[in-house]
Amino acid sequence: MITVKYFASIRETLGRDQDVLDSTSARTVGDVLTEIAGKSKPPANWLVAVNMEYVDMSHPVRDGDEVAFFPPVTGG
């Protein structure tokens, strides 16, 4: 199983803070995003971490991983 967590505005938009996916359905972070997004296209600027380390969409995922999506950090 892969735990997928959502933070900040992503959590508010989706109306949930996490999902659990079957690890056989996703081989990369991009696969995870496709599965959770369904027919809608998520913004390209989402940040992603696997097991608390920033990664890109081609990063592999394995059973037991935690994938986190969050919007870009802004400040000023």
What domains are defined for the chain?
A: 2-70 (3.10.20.30)
The confidence score (pLDDT) of residue 37 equals 80
Ramachandran bin of 8, using left for φ above 0, alpha for ψ from -120 to 50, beta for the remaining angles:
left
pLDDT digits (tens, 9 = 90+) for 15-66: 999 999 988 878 999 999 988 887 677 777 889 999 999 999 999 999 999 9
Distances (CA, A) of 14 to 5, 37, 59: 11, 9, 23
At 52 the three-state DSSP class reads coil
Q: How far is Cα of residue 56 from the mean position of the Cα atoms in its chain? A: 11
The confidence score (pLDDT) of residue 39 equals 65
The confidence score (pLDDT) of residue 58 equals 94
Q: What is the pTM of this model?
A: 0.88
Report how far residue 65's alpha carbon sits from residue 61's, in angstroms, rounded to the nearest whole number: 6
- Computed from CA positions of residues 37, 55, 15, 8, in that sequence, does the dihedral angle turn out positive or negative? negative
Mean pLDDT of 8-20: 91
Q: Indicate the helix (H) or strand (E) that contains 76.
A: none
